[in-house]
């Protein structure tokens, strides 16, 4: 049974696992021999990041970053602030940003521009979820787990006011 405030399960644990494995295989083939750097923007991406990395079967490195997007609101502002920067230099590296969800695109658009200035050899985006109907900025992920309609989702790392990140599935939030 879904918990309180979960209207329904949108994507189950097994559906997530199956898709994450497919994405891992795609990235494994794409980046073989390139020692890619996978970047996890905290905190929403942690579950996806940890699961995806275990499906990548080539040598690679990881790093973490924190940028501000939502406060106690459910719409991002278009202004992005670095709260915690990467610890490694991405110059000349094959970098992949691993994101939980692209909504308006504001956060990732700014983050991508910021990181492009550091001259990586390449910079791709792998997102678990995409809500293209909400897009404000022109931004297309290179890899996407699931395209979803305009719904506010929680679980598998994603939150509402820091709650629900620990749900093992992706649910539709309901405030009734
Ligand atoms: P954007 O800047 O509007 O694309 O928002 C990006 C960030 O907002 C994502 O990385 C998530 O952390 C958060 N976000 C967007 N939509 C949702 C949602 O439906 N549930 C939970 N978090 C979301
Ligand atoms: Mg995020």
Mark residue 44 as left, alpha or beta (left: phi above 0; alpha: psi -120 to 50; beta: remaining): alpha
Degrees (nearest 5) of the Cα angle 147, 132, 72? 100
> Is pLDDT above 60 for 71?
no
Length of the chain: 176
Q: Distance, CA 74 to ligand 2 centroid (Å)?
A: 12
* pTM listed for this prediction: 0.94
Question: Which pLDDT tens digit goes with each residue over 74-131?
Answer: 566 666 789 999 999 999 999 999 999 999 999 999 999 999 999 999 999 999 999 9
The minimum-distance atom of ligand 1 relative to the CA of 106 is 2
Q: Is the CB of 104 under 6 A from ligand 1?
A: yes
Q: Is the CB of 10 under 6 A from ligand 1?
A: no
Question: Which pLDDT tens digit goes with each residue over 12-52?
Answer: 999 999 999 999 999 999 999 999 999 999 999 999 999 99
**Strand arrangement of the beta sheet that strand 170-173 belongs to:** 6-11, 170-173, 153-154
> Is pLDDT above 90 for 150?
yes
Residues 83, 122 contacting (CB under 8 angstroms): no
Q: What is the pLDDT of residue 68?
A: 84
């Amino acid at each position: 049974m879904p918990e309180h405030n979960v209207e329904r399960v949108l994507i189950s644990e097994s559906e997530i696992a199956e898709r994450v494995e497919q994405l891992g295989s795609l990235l494994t083939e794409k980046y073989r021999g390139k020692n890619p750097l996978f970047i996890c923007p905290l905190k929403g991406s942690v579950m996806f990041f940890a699961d995806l990395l275990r499906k990548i079967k080539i040598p690679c490195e990881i790093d973490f970053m924190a940028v501000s997007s939502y406060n106690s609101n459910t719409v991002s502002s278009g202004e992005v602030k670095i709260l915690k920067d990467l610890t490694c230099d991405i110059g000349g590296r094959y970098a992949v940003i691993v994101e939980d969800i692209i909504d308006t695109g504001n956060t990732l658009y700014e983050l991508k521009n910021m990181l492009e200035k550091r001259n990586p050899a390449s910079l791709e985006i792998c997102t678990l979820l995409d809500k293209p109907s909400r897009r404000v900025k022109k931004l297309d992920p290179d890899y996407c787990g699931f395209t979803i309609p305009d719904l506010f989702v929680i679980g598998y790392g994603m939150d509402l006011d820091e709650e629900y990140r620990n749900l093992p599935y992706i649910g539709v939030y309901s405030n009734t």
